[in-house]
Structure formats: C-alpha cells, structure tokens
Structure 1
C-alpha cells in the first residue's frame, strides 16, 4: 500500500431558482429576526464589509481561474460550498499546509484567529439551514470514513462541532458499494438533482469529505409564462441558438456602467436572496471579466437605482463540474495535494494527502405560473416613465447572494443556455 493514503474531497450543490412555497422553520424564526439588520447593507455588500473582504477575493479568483480553463463555456459554481469543504479539511491540517489552505481562501492567520474562521463557517451553516416560508436552503457536510480507520477524536469532535458533519463508515475496498453509498447520500440531500457525484474511488481512499448546498427560491415578481416566447440567443458572432425568452415589465434596481459597457439588473427572490445579472455590450465580455472584482461589485451596488425595465431573460438549465484540485494548484494551493501535505490533525502523523477534489453544480431558472397573474397585476408604480428594454440575448454573468449571511452562494457565466 502506498504510504501516502488518499483523501478525497468533494463539494456539491443544487440551485433551483423557481417558485414553490415551503413550510416555515420555527426554530429559525428568531435568528432571521436577528439578521434583519443586514438589510441596511446592499445585497452585494459582503464584498465591501471587512470580514467578508478576503472571502470575496477568493470568489473572484476562483471564477477567473475557471474561465481561463473554459473560456467559451458556461461557468457555474458555489464559492461558499468550495470554501466550506476546504475550511473543514483545514481542521486536520498543520503548519504550512494549514496556512496555504487559509491563504488560498483569502484568510490571513496574522489578522484573524483560526477559531474565528471556523466559527464564521459554523454560523453560515446554521443560517443556511434556517429557511423562512419563502425560500428553502440547506447546507451540510459528511465524512465517509474507511472501515477500520480511526481519525483522532479531537478532529472528529471539531468537525462535528463547527461543521455539523455526519460520519459514515465506508468500505472503499468495495469501490462500487462505496460509490453507491456516497452518491445515494448526495442524491437524497440534493432532492435527486445530483445523482452521480463520484465515480471510481481508489481502494486506498480513507476519507471522503462531502459538502452540499441546496437552494430553492422563487422570484418576488414571477414571470408570466404567457409572455415567454422562442427567440434567438447570440452565443458568438457565428453561433445563434433558440431559447425560451421570459419577459416582464416592472421596477428593477439597475444601472448601465458606461466605463465597462454593461447593464446590471438586480432581481429579488421572495426571501433572503437576490440575483445580479450582468449583461456586457457585444464584444465587451472580456473587458467586464477583467474588472470583475469585489471592488467593482461594491461600486455597482452603490449605483443601482430602481427604474421601470422591460426585461427579457432566457429560461435555462445548466450544470457544471470542476476539478478543484487542478484549479487550486494553479491558484497556488499545492501542498495539500502533494507529498508535502501535513494533515496530521486527522491521524496524528503527516501521512495523508488530498487525491481528488470535485465540485458539481446545477442551476435551473424559469417562471412561476401560479403566482404570475397576481404579481403581474401589481406592476403600476412608475409607468409614467418610459421603460428601458434590456434583453439578455447574449452571454452574461450572474451572482446569487444571500442577504442573511451576506455571502455569494452562486456565481456563473451563461455562454450558451441551451447546453445542459
């Protein structure tokens, strides 16, 4: 057996932006009251707040690395899912490996204590699992541990305390059964939307860490399916595809950035989340992406103003899968994947390395037929002003931000909405 045993790290989530009602979670009522003060900050202000600043850096760095790998493809991921999975792994890391993981996630251990970082992730997990009656979010972690392998009690206790992780004994020598066990768990937690997270698992695997996020919400002002029509979407200068284009005329917080040549439209969900859609002018995508930083998003937040918009947005469903190990290594996070890894906080001796890190994501965006009529009838506010038509009929960027935790939970680039 190889002296460097394998640790597999996997992060997954399912994001469904549409429209169902969910029962209220009574134990979370007070917590949501306590976080109401975050409303005074803009939905994107997590990039401007001191405690969220470093994490925001990681979000945009990972996006840019993903785009470098697949410049002309859809990009969609959850920065908070990836960060949570690696922060949980860091509970077993020591020395340079620990420092490199946290620095890669944007945290400086000279400015913030390790315990504070873990406490912040614990709070985030708690808040993500406290949906109100208008939005459903759930976030969780699990460790699948090789039969007969005994991690340090302190590591297990800390992971349980800060990350609310579940533990499952797993026979990795029976790869098929191990795959079935892990995939079954993820499929259940993502309500059947991610049925196949892992493939072949090496028999030397001793731990698989899993993080999942499930997000289900509906628009505050749903689109009326009656207005959805097939239209052209310009993938590039040579490629046009047909999409179902939703349309709604109402007031949206929006802004046209003349310097970067792009439209910004912020669409609220009912509940504690909002989506920001960024539409570059033709030929300006690279210009916008080069400036896609926390400082830019912070500036945009301050410039958004309510105005009447005749909005066209494609109905789409996309998915993405990432080799996080490859992307992290290019971002300078290397030790944890190599023979230099010190994960002695897991076993007491530095004999482990991360052999695999996978992230899978899926997003589904469409109208809400059941509430559209009532919502459509309310669009009366500023009809004296001429509306501006904004049509998302070419590649665009998007962010979904949770107001309760002031964090970017999803980020993406839609190049071709017809590719699943």
Structure 2
C-alpha cells in the first residue's frame, strides 16, 4: 500500500497503560528496539501526554464531518489539524486561545499550555525521525497580507516548535496570491498537492494551510498479477467495478459482535500500521457512532492471528475541505470572527482566520519491498496434502469501510478515512 496524504495527527496517553494501545498482546512494541530509542525519555513522555486528547479530537472531528458529508468518502489527517491549530494557539490570547485548545480536546486545568506546545514539538520530531522506514513529512504554513508582519519572536518560536513557515502574500490581487500559494505548496509537496486554493477573497486577512505527506510500503506486498476486477457494492442500488488486490496470509484479526464489524490489521515496513474495518451490511452507522479511542483499544487488545484470503481495493482519491464550520461546532469560534485575539502573531489586534484549507490525497496499491516474507498462500499449497481440513477465511472489502492509519512508535493516529465509493474522487 502506497499512500500520499495531507493534514493532521493523534496520540495516546501518559499512563502506564496507554488508553489506545495499537499493538496486540503478542507483538507489543519494544521501545528499546524502536527507531526513536535514541530520544530522551523526557521527550517521549512529553509527546505521549498529548495522546488521549489528540485521540478524542480526531474521532470527534470524524463524527462532525461525517454528519456534514453523509454517504460520501471521507479522508483526513487529524494530526495535521491539531498541529496547525495548536501552533495558532501559540499566537492567540485570552478566550481565543482557550477556545482553540479546548476545541482540540485539551483540559487546561490538567495540562499547561507550555506542555501542549512542547508535546507537539517532540511529536513532530518523532514522526519525522530520519531513521524511520516510513516516509512522513508534516508541514504547516501561514500566509499573511504584507501589511501584517509577524513578530520576530513569534516567527522564531513557531519555526522552532512547529517547523512552521510564514509567508507574505498580496491578497488584494487574488490571482497572483493563488499562484504564489499554489506554487509554494506544490514545491513543498514535490508536486503531490496542486491547486490548494482557488477563488481567494481579496478581503482575506490570513490563510492557514497544513499538509502531511506519507508513503508506506506493505511489510508483505500484494502481488500485481493477483489483482483482478471485481464488484464493489456502494449501496443497494449502486455497484461499481474496481481492481481488487488479493493475498492469502496470516493477519491480525478480530470480529466485534457488538457493532458488528470485522477488523483486519496490516503492517507497513517501519512503525506504521493500518486497521481496516468492515461493518456488516447495514451497520455502517453503528460503526460511525461508536468509533472512539476506547473502541480501538478493545480491537487492539483482542486481535489474534488468523489465516485470511484478503481482497482489498486498489484505488486513489482526494478530498478538499474548508473545515471552519466543523471547528465552529467543536467550540473554536472566536478565531474566525472580529472577536479574535491573535495579537501574539503581529503584536496588534484586527487579525482573524478567514479560511482553513485541509487537502488530502490517498493512493493505495500493491507496492511492497522485494525482501518481504513469503505469503501463507505458498505455505498453504505446500501443506495442502497434509492438512486437507485447513481453509483460510475469505474477507472481501467490497462495500463501504473505515480505515485508520497509526504510527505505533508514538501511538499516533495519522489518518482516518471512510471509503464509500473507491471509484469516486471526492
């Protein structure tokens, strides 16, 4: 599975037992073997303090955006959204700052603002560690009109903490501003994200943009010659033809009878992993309503190895969100109005956020490494004569499903998606 994305993140707790553990009991992640083991323990703990809050934000955001776009593909990166708004809170004052941090699911009586910013700083560092076998690049930027010059202290601090870029743009010339912003983002993403913004309002006061680029290779790849066209049942009236990848192997598996749904977990090389969640027919709404960190914890603690003949779509999609309304519903309001206090950015009042752009792209294919281990399908052939009673379970993702991509080293939720129609580009 090769993936290209844009925007956000999510983590798990400071407690001895993390509230959303992503590894099953038989393969607990050993921090002594992690690519991040060279980091100081204090840095790791600072990062992990954010986990339960980021998890709550991620799943709440999913539920809100799902209500806005029912029966449509959804794909977003919660870490990118949390990251850029935590950065914005660094330049906010009074109730504007409080609303942002509480909207990101932080309890300010339990965690000091300084701890939040330090946690995000270490999180970004851990996720982009050069020793990682998974390529992940998180970037955020603020585009400001030329009359609003950021304070040097603010600029220095956010660059150090959040790796944030700030650029001056002439919003009074929308065509020129769009070209400047889109060219900049296209360069930063190596051409993966194009046309980030369009139809800019000449009255724009500030524009935030955040993206995450992720590319992972399956630990055990799908073989292209096994991919074949099969049916995907979008709903009771709509069926589409899609290329369906296939492999037979031993996978982490769990069937949740309470929702009900089937969970299959696959690994990438490195520390990234994906939960593929297939609800029973007619039970997608049950899954949407119950999806939270406690549910994922239950799944991860009950995974067991099972031989599965897995069919999974090969597809690509993109999504472009203006998430201001969604964030409003989560309590982040003043920063978008004339009541905004962002004087920590420029030193003067009168600045507000006019738009938040969140663009994502996802590509899923068979790609893997040449050194991947032999699949169970080949072993099954070898032993067919000895164990004639053995048959792998067939699981086919041929109807709407949920996918959750995590980084096990930090217990971070990198991406959340609901795939309703893999042929449709949202």
Task: Give the TM-score taking structure 2 as reference length.
Answer: 0.84
Paired with 1:374 and 1:161, the residues of 2 have a C-alpha distance of: 41
Distance 1:304 1:126 in 2: 30
TM-superposed CA distance for 1:68, in Å, is 0.5
Match of 2:409 in 1: 404
Task: Decide whether the 8 Å contact of 1:88 with 1:159 is kept in 2.
Answer: yes
User: How much does 1:319 deviate?
Assistant: 1.1
Q: Deviations over 1:131-183 (max 9, x none)?
A: 43632111122233332432223222221221122233322233222211211
Corresponding residue SS for 2:354: strand
Q: Which moved further from structure 2: 171-180 or 399-408?
A: 171-180
Alpha carbons of structure 1 residues 387 and 138: separation in structure 2 relative to 1, 3 Å: same
Cα displacement (A) at 1:346: 1.6
How many angstroms apart in 1 are the aligned matches of 2:113 and 2:35?
Answer: 24
Moved more, 176-185 or 92-101: 176-185
The answer for the alignment partner of 1:417 in structure 2 is 422
Q: Deviations over 1:213-258 (max 9, x none)?
A: 1101110010011111111100001110001111110011110111
- Offset of 1:189 from its aligned partner? 2.2
Q: How does 1:370-381 map to 2 (within 5 A)?
A: 371=370, 375-376=374-375, 380=379
SS for the counterpart of 1:245 is strand
Instruction: State whether structure 2 residue 130 is matched by structure 1 residue 126.
Output: no
**C-alpha contact (below 8 Å) 1:189/1:214 kept by paired residues:** no
Match of 1:177 in 2: 176
Instruction: Summarize the Cα distance change of 1:149–1:353 in structure 2 as closer, same or farther, 3 Å threshold.
Output: closer
Give the CA deviation at 1:202: 3.1
Task: Determine the C-alpha separation between the residues in 2 that align with 1:50 and 1:333.
Answer: 22
C-alpha distance 56-369 of structure 1, shift in aligned 2 (>3 A) = closer
Number of the residue aligned with 1:73: 72
Superposed displacement of residue 51, structure 1: 4.0
Moved more, 122-131 or 237-246: 122-131
**Residues 1:243 and 2:269 are matched in the alignment:** no
Asked if the contact 2:50–2:116 (Cα under 8 Å) also holds between the matched residues in 1, the reply is no
More off after superposition, 380-389 vs 86-95: 380-389
Aligned-residue Cα RMSD (Å) equals: 2.7
CA change 1:206–1:331 in 2 (3 A) is closer
Question: TM-score by structure 1 length?
Answer: 0.86
- How many Å separate the matches in 2 of 1:414 and 1:87? 28
Q: Which has the higher strand share?
A: 1
1:208: how far off? Answer: 2.9
Per-residue CA deviation, residues 298-324 of structure 1 (Å, 9 max, x unaligned), is 111101111111111011111112121
Q: Does 1:32 align with 2:36?
A: yes
Tell whether the 8 Å contact from 2:222 to 2:246 is kept in structure 1 after alignment. yes
Change in 2 beyond 3 A, CA 1:378/1:188: farther
Partner of 1:190: 189
Comparing 120-129 with 234-243, which one deviates more in the overlay? 120-129
Tell me the matched-pair count: 387
Structure 1 gap ranges (5+): 1-10, 15-28, 38-45
> Aligned residue for 1:154?
153
User: For residue 319 of structure 2, what is the aligned residue in structure 1?
Assistant: 320
Q: CA separation in 2, counterparts of 1:182 and 1:413?
A: 29
